[in-house]
């Protein structure tokens, strides 16, 4: 399969609160759920939730830098992302954004909203510099931990052992974990999903695959939900 996305590292590429609600099925969570967004990057999710009185903590090693330094990385990745989308356009569903140009505008608008909030709050309240698989939070500090477009997406670079450690770390700090999507960067079902699910079931966790009303990568419409058994 052609490698349409010529990326040297995980790309700081954010998603909106609307997207999070769809691909993490967030509307079913109890009001007031304490949420951690892992590997959040420049997503506007935490900013939008805070504006509506529903605070979220976002964690990413990116937040050790300044808003200007992080924006330079986002700006630098934009051309590579647009070129990859052009080469692989048939692998995507163009419903949420009808064109590549509209998609790029949405992504950059989301990142700008994150940037303004990051500038206003700094990196010590809503945005915490922290990297999987070692999060700087106490056991059980959150009700739900989310991770989008990092685990499974970059499975070739991260490897199976990293995935096991990262998921267990999220389960240490939260009672429930939700992961999306379950495809790799090239649009294939990630080879990490089955071994991660099998190991978690052996350890006594409840593991569920659920179809959600969001699909950008074709076939990327499934959420992995993990929780401690009652």
Contact between 126 and 55 (Cβ < 8 Å): yes
Cα–Cα nearest to 46, from 12, 24, 16, 11: 16
Domain boundaries, the chain: 17-228
Residue 121 has what pLDDT? 87
Cis peptide before 88 (omega within 30 of 0): no
17-228 folds as Rossmann fold (3.40.50)
Average pLDDT over residues 117-123: 84
In this model, does residue 28 exceed pLDDT 70?
Answer: yes
Contact between 67 and 42 (Cβ < 8 Å): no
Say which range, 73-77, 136-140, 171-175, has the weakest mean pLDDT.
73-77
Helix 67-87 × helix 100-121 angle, to 10°: 170
What DSSP string runs through 26-82?
GGGSPTT--EEEET-TT-SHHHHHHHTT--EEEE-GGGGS-HHHHHHHHHHHHHHHH
pTM of the model: 0.93
């Amino acid at each position: 399969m052609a490698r349409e996305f010529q990326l040297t590292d995980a790309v700081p590429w954010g998603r909106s609160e609307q997207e999070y609600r769809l691909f993490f099925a967030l509307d079913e969570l109890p009001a007031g759920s304490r949420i951690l967004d892992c590997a959040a990057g420049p997503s506007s999710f935490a900013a939008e939730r805070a504006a509506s009185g529903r605070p979220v903590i976002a964690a990413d090693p990116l937040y050790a830098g300044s808003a200007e330094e992080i924006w330079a990385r986002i700006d630098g990745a934009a051309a590579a992302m647009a070129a990859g989308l052009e080469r692989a356009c048939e692998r995507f569903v163009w419903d949420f954004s009808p064109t590549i140009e509209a998609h790029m505008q949405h992504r950059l608008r989301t990142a700008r909203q994150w940037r303004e909030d990051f500038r206003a709050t700094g990196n010590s309240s809503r945005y915490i510099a922290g990297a999987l698989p070692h999060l700087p939070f106490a056991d059980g500090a959150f009700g739900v931990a989310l991770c989008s477009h990092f685990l499974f997406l970059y499975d070739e670079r991260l490897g199976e052992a990293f995935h096991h450690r990262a998921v267990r770390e999220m389960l240490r700090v939260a009672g429930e974990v939700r992961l999306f999507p379950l495809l790799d960067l090239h649009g294939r079902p990630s080879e990490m999903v089955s071994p991660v699910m099998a190991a978690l079931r052996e350890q006594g966790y409840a593991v569920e695959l659920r179809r959600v009303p969001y699909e950008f990568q074709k076939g990327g419409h499934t959420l992995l939900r993990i929780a401690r058994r009652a």
